[in-house]
Amino acid sequence: MEQSPQALGTPDEPGVWFWARSWSPDGRSIAGDLRGPTGAYSGIAVYSLESRTIRRLTEFGAVARWLSDSHRLMFRDDQKIHLLDTRSGKVREILSVAPHELGSIFTLARDDRTIAFVLETTEADVWLMSQR
């Protein structure tokens, strides 16, 4: 069977591109990050396979993951994980790990009740030298 890849398209915003991250469980949408010209994260968006359009949902955040109901997403921003309802647009913080650094990787259990995530820690030695 011959197949040909199809581009997802680009957001309507100049210099912004879509980084696909997570298929919805119902197979109708792909959640992802929006990134600006410098590559910095600039929000969460969803690509609809039906309408072939990208819809911005937030002005912040990255690493979106679908929940099993195909209408809620979890995503990270700095040291926090947020829950986003794609129907209402409401965002709610559900976890803060400050002052630690939340890693870029997190995943959800199939029942949406458990989150596994990475905390990044930087340790260093401080040295003092006196010159004689």
At residue 8 the predicted structure's pLDDT band, cuts being 50, 70 and 90, is: confident
For residue 122, give the amino acid letter. T
Does pTM surpass 0.85? no
Q: Using DSSP, state whether 72 is helix, strand or coil.
A: strand
Cα–Cα dist 93/115, whole Å:
14
The predicted-structure confidence for 21-70, as pLDDT tens digits, reads as follows: 999 999 999 999 999 888 889 999 999 999 999 999 999 999 999 999 99
The listed CATH number (3.90.105.10, 3.90.1150.10, 3.50.50.60, 2.120.10.30) that belongs to domain 17-120: 2.120.10.30
| pLDDT of residue 1 exceeding 80 | no
E-assigned strand segments in the chain: 17-23, 29-35, 41-48, 53-56, 62-66, 72-77, 80-85, 91-96, 101-108, 115-120
Nearest residue to 116 via CA among 100, 103, 128, 127: 103
The predicted-structure confidence for 59-104, as pLDDT tens digits, reads as follows: 999 999 999 999 999 999 988 999 999 999 999 999 998 877 877 7
The pLDDT of residue 67 is: 96
